[in-house]
Amino acid sequence: MKSYVGNKIRELRNGSGMTQAELAAKLGISASSVGMYEQGRREPDSETILKLCSIFGTSTDYLLGNTKTEKKSVGREISDVFDEFTQILTSQQGLMFDGVPLNDDDRSKIVDAIRVVAALAQQQHKKSFGNGEC
């Protein structure tokens, strides 16, 4: 009795060239638990699901089958994530802050605040790592 999640764990693990024992060590569980997940005999708890997504650089939606497209979080530019968030913030209707609906001015202030923090972080990053060269 295979489960979607179990199949996806096996697929991601094999795709990364990892053994069940190696994945188990990263998760802090036994290799037999990983085997049971993959066989559909046991389902991972929410903490394990989050760890799996972090290890494989994928979303919980992908792991749980809520989306068919894998969006890897590894190696993404923060500017891309910011652009996605800005798009969601500006287009999503009914967003609230402490129970009060956000208006266009509120959304604009949030985007501006994030831009300021991102610029400060970028300056700090450049100071720490030079001119973008590692």
Q: What is residue 133's predicted lDDT score, i.e. its pLDDT?
A: 44
Question: What's the mean pLDDT in 11-35?
Answer: 93
Check residues 70 and 10 and name the one with the higher pLDDT: 10
Confidence label for 2 from pLDDT (cuts 50, 70 and 90)? low
Q: What is residue 82's predicted lDDT score, i.e. its pLDDT?
A: 75
On whether the pTM is more than 0.75, the answer is no
Q: What is residue 33's predicted lDDT score, i.e. its pLDDT?
A: 96
The yes-or-no verdict on residue 22 having pLDDT over 60 is yes
- 55 close to 62: Cβ distance less than 8 angstroms: no
Residues linked to residue 100 through DSSP beta bridges, in sequence order: 97
Domain boundaries, the chain: 4-64, 78-129
Domain with residues 4-64, CATH architecture: Orthogonal Bundle (1.10)
Angle between helices 78-91 and 104-129 (to 10 degrees): 180
Q: What is residue 134's predicted lDDT score, i.e. its pLDDT?
A: 41
The string of pLDDT tens digits covering residues 49-90 is 989 988 888 888 888 888 766 655 455 567 667 777 777 777
In eight-state DSSP terms, residue 61 is H
The yes-or-no verdict on residue 105 having pLDDT over 70 is yes
Cα separation of 96 and 88, whole Å? 13
Element (H or E) spanning 97, and its range? strand 96-97
Phi then psi for residue 51, to 5 deg, are -65, -40
Q: What is residue 32's predicted lDDT score, i.e. its pLDDT?
A: 96
